[in-house]
């Protein structure tokens, strides 16, 4: 059996959730003895793939090969489609985005979330239309759809009319190298690198409306002048997404310049230290298909504020303060509790370290591979 994998997002320079998912699955599969796998990349050669997977000899394991298919635009629907028409694998796995227009008879695709349906105002019109089309295309044409959470599966069934039997829930994993950083010089260096003066509340992720950052800033503004917050900053770290520009204006209008800082994309090597030094991780997102950042914070022993909606209660368990993401007062109250209550911070940190043990990329990879092998063996009438 030959399993084809759309690896076009796995080896980009700056990874967010879907890119991390793609890369971590491939990293785990390289260590598992299994069927042959062909990685389809856009301009990334086999030696570079091997180095990205941490292979010092720059050679892939025997069961993995790379089909490097460089193409400037519309790579999925043009270049990958052409490859599928000429040299299809037994089963194709697309871990993010959308199935190519031409694809094998047996396919598995991951749908990460349907946030665009629940919060259409958080997306540009053209993006929303494309997301809707691509999600329905995936659901209709894939042999099996993987969902990151039960919440996403429920959305697929309810909003897109997908047969529940067609959807498998496979939880994502976490970076198991992440852990608390306690070295004072390392923590001080990270603070200096990102322009952080003192204690801080932290968000890490793409700056976009779905992440609810306007309400996070508003909530912080309601407590920023209180004595307990005199030396506390709000750090909103991450690359710019879409419809993010007014966050800067909002900060200035609220008189919070210097108290709310935007340090940009966080290098992977700096993430453990940046998380470990935070008072709390603030992630009251409007909608998430899974919520990897919640696990990253938990692994580093940082108490979490997150939403009581979508998949986030599934991921956070009892290791976070859950709030209504639309309730600014509730977000502000949660901030106040974690800034002022060291005992609560310690208890949530302990629970977070326990909670993350439920998730691993090896577990995710094994469960996903089992689905791919089962689909690859199916008979089809197409």
Per-residue model confidence (pLDDT) at position 324: 98
Structure confidence by residue, pLDDT tens digits, 86-110: 999 999 999 987 899 999 999 999 9
Q: Are 121 and 292 in contact (CB under 8 A)?
A: no
d(C-alpha 300, C-alpha 371), whole Å:
31
Surface-to-core class of residue 255, CB atoms within 10 Å of its CB (0-12 exposed, 13-18 middle, 19+ buried): exposed
Per-residue model confidence (pLDDT) at position 306: 98
Closest CA to 293 of 322, 313, 314, 315: 315
- 3-state class of 34 per DSSP? coil
- 3-state class of 62 per DSSP? coil
Backbone angles phi, psi at 240, to 5 degrees: -75, 130
Structure confidence by residue, pLDDT tens digits, 11-59: 987 777 789 899 999 999 999 878 999 999 999 999 999 999 999 889 9
d(C-alpha 233, C-alpha 1), whole Å:
54
What is 151-195 written as a DSSP string?
HHHHHHHHHH---GGGEEE------TT------HHHHHHHHHHTT
Instruction: Band the pLDDT of 380: cuts 50, 70, 90.
Output: low
Structure confidence by residue, pLDDT tens digits, 327-338: 999 999 999 999
Structure confidence by residue, pLDDT tens digits, 115-172: 888 888 777 888 889 889 989 999 999 999 999 999 999 999 999 999 999 999 999 9
- Listed in sequence order, the DSSP H helices in the chain are 17-30, 46-52, 81-86, 115-118, 125-141, 150-160, 184-193, 213-223, 246-253, 271-276, 292-299, 312-316, 328-340, 342-355, 361-376
Domains of the chain: 2-173+361-376 (3.40.50.2000), 184-358 (3.40.50.2000)
For the chain, count helices (H), then strands (E): 15, 13
Candidate from 36-40, 172-176, 225-229 with smallest mean pLDDT: 172-176
What is 127-156 written as a DSSP string?
HHHHHHHHHHHHHHH-SEEEESSHHHHHHH
Taking the model in full, what pTM does it have? 0.87
d(C-alpha 299, C-alpha 305), whole Å:
15
Length of the chain: 382
pLDDT at 279 over 80: yes
Backbone angles phi, psi at 224, to 5 degrees: -60, -30
Instruction: Band the pLDDT of 382: cuts 50, 70, 90.
Output: very low
How high does pLDDT run on average in the chain? Answer: 94
Which residues, including other chains, have CB under 8 Å from residue 20's CB and lie 6 or more apart?
292
């Amino acid at each position: 059996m030959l399993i084809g994998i759309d690896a076009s997002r796995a080896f980009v320079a700056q990874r967010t959730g879907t890119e991390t998912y793609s890369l971590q699955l491939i990293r785990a599969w390289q260590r598992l003895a299994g069927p042959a796998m062909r990685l389809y990349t856009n301009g990334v050669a086999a030696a570079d793939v091997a180095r990205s997977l941490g292979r010092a000899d720059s050679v892939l394991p025997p069961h993995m090969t790379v089909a490097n298919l460089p193409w400037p635009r519309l790579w999925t629907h043009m270049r990958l489609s052409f490859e599928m028409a000429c040299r299809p694998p037994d089963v194709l796995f697309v871990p993010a985005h959308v199935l190519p227009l031409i694809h094998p008879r047996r396919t598995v695709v991951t749908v990460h979330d349907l946030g665009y349906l629940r919060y259409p105002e958080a997306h540009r019109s053209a993006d929303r239309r494309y997301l809707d089309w691509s999600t329905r295309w995936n659901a209709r044409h894939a042999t099996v759809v993987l969902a990151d959470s039960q919440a996403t599966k429920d959305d697929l069934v309810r909003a897109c009319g997908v047969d529940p039997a067609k959807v498998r829930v496979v939880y994502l994993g976490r970076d198991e190298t992440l852990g608390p950083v306690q070295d004072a010089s390392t923590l001080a260096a990270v603070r200096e690198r990102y322009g952080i003066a003192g204690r801080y509340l932290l968000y890490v992720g793409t700056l976009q409306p779905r992440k609810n950052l306007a309400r996070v800033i508003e909530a912080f503004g309601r407590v920023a002048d209180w004595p307990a917050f005199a030396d506390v900053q709000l750090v909103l770290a991450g690359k710019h997404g879409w419809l993010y520009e007014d966050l800067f204006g909002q900060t200035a209008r609220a008189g919070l310049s210097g108290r709310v800082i935007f340090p940009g994309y966080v290098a992977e090597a700096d993430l453990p230290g940046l998380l470990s030094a935070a008072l709390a991780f603030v992630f009251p997102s409007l909608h998430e298909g899974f919520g990897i950042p919640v696990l990253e914070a938990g692994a580093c022993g940082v108490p979490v504020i997150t939403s009581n909606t979508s998949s986030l209660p599934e991921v956070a368990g009892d290791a976070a303060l859950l709030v209504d993401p639309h309730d600014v007062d509730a977000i502000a109250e949660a901030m106040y509790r974690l800034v002022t209550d060291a005992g609560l911070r310690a208890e949530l940190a302990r629970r977070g370290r326990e909670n993350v043990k439920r998730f691993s990329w090896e577990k995710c990879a094994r469960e996903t591979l089992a689905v791919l092998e089962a689909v690859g063996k199916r008979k089809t009438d197409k």
